[in-house]
Amino acid sequence: MVNLGRYRPVGETENMNLGNPFGLPGEWFKGSLHIHSTKSDGDRTPDEVTAWYQSRGFHFIALTDHGVLSQSQEPADGLLVLNGMEIEGVDPQAGLFHLVGLGLRENPVLDQMSRTSMREAQNRLLAAGGLVIIAHPYWSGQLSKDLLNLDGCIGLEIYNGSCEVEDAKGYSLVHWDDLLAAGRRLWGLAVDDSHWHHGSQDAGLGWIWVRSETLSQEAILAAIDRGHFFSSTGPRIEDLRLEGRDVFVRCSPCVAVDFIGRGPHSRRVIAQAGDCITQVEHRLDAHQQYLRVACRDKDGGWAWSNPLMNVGSDANAGN
């Protein structure tokens, strides 16, 4: 069951392009959702951090210091700052965990985190009015099954730049596919988790492009809640359309386009040597349970769509 976050207006239903922003009205806004500053263990001040992202063409960021709730700022000189924070604890089963909360109304009460389960921590962030994202599960050491009961989270970090450049544990794609295969609709987010310990080497590595009509905290959070974004470490997905069982993808020049589903229901399309792909068609298996698209450019950068659930004509049969 998809999490119906607080940003979902009453009356909206499942057939509202959940997870697919392409073809929706609005503009694309580039955002970075996991950033630290001197308010916790980062080495740059919030002002230095916002200036860095603004100078790189970002439209919005979230400051997510450990245990410190940042304040939102409506666009000043073009950069929207969402409020947020990162919390951590030790779950009796899952062990160490981190969660990111965005758009919180208040600082959640989080004492005794060493004895707070991941689910309880999730619920406290929800009670504080936020969207909750599972941070870097591969780096934390969680198994996919540890995350199955987090039914209030909207997504997980599928790419965490800091975890990748510091510890080679940035990609959590298997966790994502395991949860999708289990029927959990979770969005996939690419983030920096920038700490600035070595200059800006862990900044500007992973981001999301959000489709929204306006650049405000409410509109951007509502779009993220609905999965109206794609994640990237470089390339862009230009279009993703589903007509019956036929999938059409357009992207910036890439060397491979992946159509990923449950188990073996997947396919990689590779460009001819020295060539690039900018559009691909693919026919879904009738039993396809979900579909997500990933595009890789010649420099090794990725763009990841969000999953479209129950896409095969027989996907619901036997469920």
Which residue stretch of 2-10, 55-63, 97-105, 299-307 sits at the interface with Zn ion (rule: CB under 5 A)? Answer: 97-105
Site for Zn ion in 114-143 (CB under 5 A): 135
Q: Which is nearer to Zn ion, 160 or 232 (CB)?
A: 160
Task: Tell me the closest approach of the beta carbon of residue 35 to Zn ion, in angstroms.
Answer: 8
Query: For Zn ion, which residue of 65, 164, 177, 193 counts as binding (CB under 5 A)?
Result: 193
Q: Tell me, by CB under 5 A, how many residues bind Zn ion.
A: 4
Task: Tell me the closest approach of the beta carbon of residue 104 to Zn ion, in angstroms.
Answer: 16
Task: Tell me the closest approach of the beta carbon of residue 188 to Zn ion, in angstroms.
Answer: 17
Task: Tell me the closest approach of the beta carbon of residue 36 to Zn ion, in angstroms.
Answer: 6
Which residue stretch of 80-88, 107-115, 198-206, 307-315 sits at the interface with Zn ion (rule: CB under 5 A)? Answer: 80-88
Query: For Zn ion, which residue of 39, 98, 226, 292 counts as binding (CB under 5 A)?
Result: 98
Q: Are 213 and 36 in contact (CB under 8 A)?
A: no
Which residue stretch of 126-134, 190-198, 229-237, 278-286 sits at the interface with Zn ion (rule: CB under 5 A)? Answer: 190-198
Which residue stretch of 50-58, 78-86, 219-227, 268-276 sits at the interface with Zn ion (rule: CB under 5 A)? Answer: 78-86
Comparing every residue's Cβ against Zn ion, the nearest one is: 98
Q: Does 39 bind Zn ion (CB under 5 A)?
A: no
Q: Which is nearer to Zn ion, 193 or 202 (CB)?
A: 193
The torsion region of residue 246 among left (phi > 0), alpha (psi -120 to 50) and beta comes to: beta
Burial readout 242-252 (b: 16 or more C-beta within 10 A, e: otherwise): eeeeebebbbb
Task: Tell me the closest approach of the beta carbon of residue 128 to Zn ion, in angstroms.
Answer: 18
Q: Does 192 bind Zn ion (CB under 5 A)?
A: no
Q: Which is nearer to Zn ion, 86 or 258 (CB)?
A: 86
Task: Tell me the closest approach of the beta carbon of residue 108 to Zn ion, in angstroms.
Answer: 16
Q: Which is nearer to Zn ion, 193 or 297 (CB)?
A: 193
SS (H, E, C) the chain: CCCCCCCCCCCCCCCCCCCCCCCCCCEEEEEEEEECCCCCCCCCCHHHHHHHHHHCCCCEEEECCECCCCCCEEEECCEEEECEEEEEEEECCCEEEEEEEECCCCCCCCCCHHHCCHHHHHHHHHHCCCEEEECCHHHHCCCHHHHCCCCCCCEEEEEEHHHHHHHCCCECHHHHHHHHHCCCCCEEEEECCECCCCCCCCCCCCEEEEEECCCCHHHHHHHHHCCCEEEECCCCEEEEEEECCEEEEEEEEECEEEEECCCCCCEEEECCCCCCEEEEEEECCCCCCEEEEEEECCCCCEEECCCEECCCCCCCCCC
Task: Tell me the closest approach of the beta carbon of residue 215 to Zn ion, in angstroms.
Answer: 24
Give the residues lining the site for Zn ion (CB under 5 A): 86, 98, 135, 193
